[in-house]
Structure 1
């Protein structure tokens, strides 16, 4: 009898989830402006444990709101590889002039976008999944 291979999603530790997040650069910023969460495209980096997200949102859309989350996922079905990671926590719009000048060069975003906001998130909740192949008997 031949063993079959089945795919399933495996939850990973917070440390591995951050490592997977660091290995990606595109995702979506999820923030609840009202009763329903809004999802916006985003690019990100994770320098020194702080998640910097560049998104085409008005700064006012993020001011005074609950903690946003950044979601990055990429699942390649054919090879059974990829990741799905969500990191959220307290956030602030990046206002430091040096940092605000630096990140647009490291985070290629949207050309001539009317809104372009940099957000710093201090991840307090991190969850992640990756596909795994298992033998089905």
Structure 2
């Protein structure tokens, strides 16, 4: 009986445009917020709209008080195959203040918490990093 050839897992960087295209293919990710000098990660939903990332996350709006730049991460990893991708976006963020726009996104992006811990944010991507994950046969 022949054993299958071993495979090596590999991570390959993709362009910023491809990373944003991958991000459009999923609706959920994680918002990274720094609180008391510690990174706090919250589940979030997102949509890309006119080049900006709209995020609905269970955080308070004061998350932007002293840190106007936020980081968002999403991925789609298939195990045990070890394939998929990961994308990280960072940039200036602001709370969505316009009532009509907020109502639209509240309808289209379901939330996990309501009230003061339900925030709609707009992130302007300044830094976009993406990687594809895959397998290569061992030499």
Question: Could you report, residue by residue, the CA deviation over 1:49-87 in whole angstroms, capped at 9, with x for unpaired residues?
Answer: 100000011111222314111110221023443221100
CA apart distance, 1:40: 1.1
Tell me the secondary structure at the aligned position of residue 100 of structure 1.
Answer: helix
> What is the match of residue 33 of structure 1?
35
Q: Distance in 2 between matches of 1:66 and 1:91?
A: 5
Q: Indicate conservation of the 8 Å contact 1:53/1:118, yes or no.
A: yes
Q: Indicate conservation of the 8 Å contact 2:68/2:94, yes or no.
A: no
Would you say 1:126 and 2:128 are equivalent positions? Answer: yes
Q: Distance in 2 between matches of 1:75 and 1:103?
A: 27
Query: What RMSD in Å do the two structures reach over aligned CA positions?
Result: 1.9
| Corresponding pairs, count | 137
Unaligned 5+ runs, structure 2:
none
Tell me the secondary structure at the aligned position of residue 72 of structure 2.
Answer: strand
Q: Indicate conservation of the 8 Å contact 1:31/1:67, yes or no.
A: no
Q: Distance in 2 between matches of 1:75 and 1:113?
A: 32
Q: Which of structure 1's runs of 4+ aligned residues deviate more than 6 A?
A: none
Question: Could you report, residue by residue, the CA deviation over 1:12-63 in whole angstroms, capped at 9, with x for unpaired residues?
Answer: 1111111111111111101223322221111100011100000011111222
State TM-score, norm by structure 1. 0.89
Identify, as 1 or 2, the structure richer in strand.
2
Would you say 1:54 and 2:52 are equivalent positions? Answer: no
- 5 Å-filtered alignment, 1:58-73, equals 58-73=60-75
Tell me the secondary structure at the aligned position of residue 32 of structure 1.
Answer: strand
Q: Distance in 1 between matches of 2:130 and 2:28?
A: 15
